[in-house]
Amino acid sequence: MSTHDPNAASKDRLVLVIPNSRWHDKRTWIMVSPAALILTAILKPHFDLHLIDCNGEDLSLEGLGQRLADLAPDAVLVSCLSVEYARQSHAALAIAKQSVPGVTTVLGGVYPTVLPESALEDENVDCIFLGHAEERAVPFLTALLSGGVEAVADLPGVGFRSGGQLVIRPVASYISDVKEMVKPDYSLIDLSPYINQRTHDYQYNSKVPMASLVSSYGCPFNCIFCATRTVSGRRVVFRPAEDVLEEIGYLVDTYGVQDLSFIDDCLLADRERIEVIMRGMAERWPGLRWKVVTLSAWHLDDELMELMAACGCEQFTISVESGSQRVLKEIIRKPLKLEIVPPIVRKARELGITIGGNFVIGFPGETFKEIRDSFAFAEECDFDFVNFHIATPLPGTDLYRVAQEQGLLPDDFSFTDPRYFGFGYAFIGTDEFTPFELMVLRAFEWDRINFSTDEKIAKIADLVNMTVDELNEHRRQTRRKCGIHVPPDAPVEA
């Protein structure tokens, strides 16, 4: 069926750009942008919308410039889902201004939502859009394209420059206030580079065609380090179960997806809904295997895990965060009782589900012994794999506020400084621990606990679709670089 829109010539032409994560020698992040799919669904009926996926195509900045010059859009939109990739987004907007003189540029996504002042410092950015796009993006862009910045000056959730000053209107609503969720639209993107990837990235390999999706947004809890509430508020909003199943059907029928990953923050919060989705997957695609990147342990019980296994779940990770009950309750504020974790691990093993655990170390107020307690608890539980992260303050989080108030941040700290990206590089130190100690502990305990036997090495190599030799080289580099990702050709310091 033709996708030509006979009315396109009368509509404003927009180009949505997905920046290339590889630009500026950054680590490659090959995952479809959920925002691009949502924006396509929202904007395509109202504008002559085009999408340039620099990430999937591994397109250079010069290649992006040529595409934009050929399309000659009225506006270029960039959605930045992480502060870590802000530089790539700014590079795309600079190329847009060079290639299409007079074009209007808009930067949206997590980055301008949490760091609006930083985003607007770039004069290649005409306007920023904060918060969710549902119910807001179309009237915003219609007004902007017809009347310029002045026409959107009083709208909530926007930012711009006026008379040399930054003007930022805070958001007035969150995605949980939206009356009807939007079903993602894949019509403008080629998923092939994402579906059949094979990289040397430890976390994101699959033996079969794979895809990820988001079926709900938000989290009602209040963990000290989490930025979800800054972006999505404190409630969970759920897409209709049938919409989710239709999206899965598209991925299976169009791309032959056999491995599906849910990347929701709170997938199990509505039990009736997730049971409908699981049973629907089992009935319609009995060979489909699926996993969940993080689950709240308190939503799990034997009956639910048995249903998950029967419906094709092959892997999930629970976010434990700490092996100290005091740290969980008094510092992290996570409503988890550690006593429920070992039985969950045993039940998953019984059902043949691979189970992982996430932990975070290095919180202000945490003792060195309590950090060691986390490693001991992770080892005692005998997860199939464990991930250890270092507490990293993100914009708008209580962790950032506490670290700032206690004078624990470096004098030159900046959220946009590459030295402070990620969850492997430590820069908070207290009387109990130094950043160096955290980095060494994290790298070496990760290696010791995950790869203590030849059997565990072989199992994890199979899990991440690496050879044992590839995995051992990854381990070696992790130990020598204390877990810090750097470009492959960068020198390793002693």
Locate 30 and state its tokens.
């090959």
CA geometry: angle 343, 345, 346, nearest 5 deg = 65
Cβ–Cβ under 8 Å, residues 368 and 434: no
Beta carbons of 390 and 430 less than 8 angstroms apart: no
Query: Which three-class secondary structure state does DSSP give residue 99?
Result: helix
Residue 200's pLDDT is what? 43
What pairs with residue 51 in β-bridges? 16
**What DSSP element (H or E) covers 212?**
strand 210-213
Residue 488: predicted pLDDT = 39
Judge whether 113 and 130 are in contact, CB under 8 Å.
Answer: yes
317 touches 426 (CB < 8 A): no
- Residues 439, 388 contacting (CB under 8 angstroms): no
How far, in Å, CA of 494 to CA of 487, rounded? 17
In tens digits, what is the pLDDT along the chain, a chain of 494 residues? 334 455 666 799 999 999 999 998 766 778 889 999 999 999 999 999 999 999 999 999 999 999 999 999 999 999 998 898 999 999 999 999 999 999 999 999 999 999 999 999 999 999 999 999 999 999 999 999 999 999 999 999 999 999 889 999 999 998 888 888 899 999 999 999 998 765 545 455 678 899 999 999 988 888 999 888 778 877 899 999 999 999 999 999 999 999 999 999 999 999 999 999 999 999 999 999 999 999 999 999 999 999 999 999 999 999 999 999 999 999 999 999 999 999 999 999 999 999 999 999 999 999 999 999 999 999 999 999 999 999 999 998 999 999 999 999 999 999 888 777 766 688 899 999 999 999 999 999 999 999 999 999 999 999 988 999 999 999 999 999 988 754 433 333 32
Sequence-separated (6 or more) residues with CB below 8 Å from residue 77: 14, 15, 16, 17, 39, 105, 106, 107, 108
Question: For residue 390, what are the CA distances in angstroms to 89, 125, 137, 225?
Answer: 26, 33, 36, 11
Measure the CA angle with vertex 339, ends 335 and 342; round to 5°. Answer: 115
Strands 354-361 and 385-390: parallel
Of 218, 217, 227, 184, which is closest to residue 397 (Cα–Cα)? 227
Q: Judging by beta carbons within 10 Å of its beta carbon (0-12, 13-18, 19+), is residue 279 exposed, middle or buried?
A: middle
Q: State the amino acid at position 52 in one-letter form.
A: I
